[in-house]
């Protein structure tokens, strides 16, 4: 490991200020201590990013690696309707990474933590002979009984998605293939969508207050996330290709490529969910007030033989659970 003194390093990354008074013990002891509130439920999630699998030095700068490693966990909080509050970081560092680069990774995490008023409360720092590995745990809270689950879709619900889809996969393509002739504005937008996703915490919070709904964040691709909701709810979901929201920037590519990325590319970290038509009207109004695009893309039906169906030009096709899978050959 390129860091000479673990304890000096921990001092360098220790927060100078804290946002939450219910943190009783933070960095510096064997474990963090939180005082839980009576009317809230604690929500915990963890994600891992591995060099060579989720990023390389070609596709991500250290600041962006840190930013994204926390952002993807915040997105899980958003999908639960929760408020992110605390995070812990476990990092395994090879000799190919120097201390300045590692500190910059933490600066990236701190940048998005400041945006959501989150406190870093601990973690672990070790050396490794292989690639850089970052595991982030986020702790949040949601009002009792208000957590938004995948299993709450009902017949007649509207299927919706925030933002636009496929942009992250398009950005990764541009980074890997160095498309120098690509329009500059569109290039910057798509790269940003891959490197610095914007978790939809505000939308998750709105949904949590509206009543019964289901939510998932688009990490592994729309097809995968919809299948998870349909399976958990025991319902069939029908979506319409023509309603899938696309950015202007992604339209520089061919239709086949665009829709493949939109359905299976993943890492957009938008929210997809289902909600009753009455509550969707209210949700759309509140999202417009927040400046968040939201699109109706389909509807929930009673259970059929297939979980998810996509309508393309009047034809109905099964939309299988395709998306990023770490343990599938060829990925």
**Binding-site residue set:** 30, 47, 54, 76, 106, 123-124, 150, 217, 219-220, 267, 324
Residues that constitute the known binding site for substrate: 54, 267, 324
| Backbone phi and psi for residue 141, each to the nearest 5 degrees, phi listed first | -150, 155
Bind-site residues for Mg(2+):
30, 47, 76, 124, 217, 220
Task: Confirm if 68 and 136 have CB atoms less than 8 A apart.
Answer: no
Scanning the chain, the segments in alpha helix (DSSP H) are 6-13, 62-79, 99-116, 167-177, 184-195, 201-208, 222-233, 255-264, 277-290
Query: Which residue ranges are tagged as binding site for ATP?
Result: 106, 123-124, 150, 219
Virtual CA dihedral for 188, 189, 193, 198, nearest 10 degrees? 120
Compute the distance between CA of residue 261 and CA of residue 247 in angstroms, rounded to an integer: 12
119-127 vs 213-217, strand pairing mode:
unpaired
> Is residue 61 classed exposed, middle or buried when 0-12, 13-18 and 19+ CB atoms within 10 A define those classes?
middle
- What are the backbone dihedrals phi and psi of residue 256, each rounded to the nearest 5 degrees, phi first? -60, -45
Residues 6+ apart with CB under 8 A from 143: 39, 40, 41, 208
Looking at residue 157, the DSSP 8-state letter turns out to be P
CA-CA distance, 170 to 313, in Å (whole number)? 24
Work out the burial of residue 8: count CB atoms within 10 Å of its CB; fewer than 13 is exposed, 13-18 middle, 19 or more buried: exposed
- Sign of the Cα torsion 89, 85, 295, 305 reads positive
237-272 exposure pattern, b = at least 16 Cβ within 10 A, e = fewer: bbbebeebbbbebbebbeeebbbbbbbbbbbbbbbb
Q: What CA–CA distance (Å, rounded) separates 71 from 37?
A: 25
């Amino acid at each position: 490991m390129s860091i000479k003194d673990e304890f000096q390093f921990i001092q360098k990354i220790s927060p100078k200020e804290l946002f939450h008074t219910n943190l009783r013990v933070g960095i510096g002891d064997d474990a963090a201590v939180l005082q839980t509130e009576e009317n809230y439920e604690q929500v915990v999630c963890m994600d891992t990013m591995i060099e060579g699998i989720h990023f390389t030095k070609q596709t991500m700068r250290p600041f962006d690696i840190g930013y994204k490693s926390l952002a993807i966990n915040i997105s899980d909080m958003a999908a639960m309707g929760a408020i992110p509050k605390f995070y812990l970081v476990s990092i395994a560092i090879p000799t190919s990474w120097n201390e300045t680069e590692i500190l910059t990774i933490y600066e990236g995490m701190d940048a998005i933590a400041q945006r959501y008023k989150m406190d870093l409360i601990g973690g672990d720092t070790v050396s490794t002979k292989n690639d850089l590995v970052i595991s982030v745990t986020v702790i949040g809270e949601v009002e009792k009984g208000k957590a938004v689950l995948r299993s709450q879709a009902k017949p007649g619900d509207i299927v919706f998605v925030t933002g636009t889809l496929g942009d992250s996969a398009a950005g990764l393509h541009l980074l890997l293939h160095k498309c120098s002739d690509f329009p500059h504005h569109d290039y910057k937008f798509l790269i940003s969508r891959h490197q610095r996703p914007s978790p939809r915490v505000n939308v998750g919070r709105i949904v949590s207050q509206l009543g019964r709904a289901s939510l998932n964040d688009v990490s592994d691709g729309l097809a995968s996330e919809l299948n998870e909701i349909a399976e958990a709810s025991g319902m069939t979901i029908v979506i319409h290709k023509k309603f899938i929201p696309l950015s202007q920037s992604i339209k520089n590519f061919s239709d086949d490529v665009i829709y493949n990325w939109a359905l299976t590319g993943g890492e957009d970290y938008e929210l997809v969910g289902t909600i009753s038509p009455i509550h969707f009207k209210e949700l759309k109004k509140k999202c417009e007030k927040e400046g968040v695009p939201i699109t109706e893309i389909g509807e929930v039906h009673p259970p059929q033989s297939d979980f998810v169906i996509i309508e393309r030009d009047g034809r109905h096709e099964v939309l299988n659970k395709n998306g990023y899978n770490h343990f599938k050959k060829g990925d």
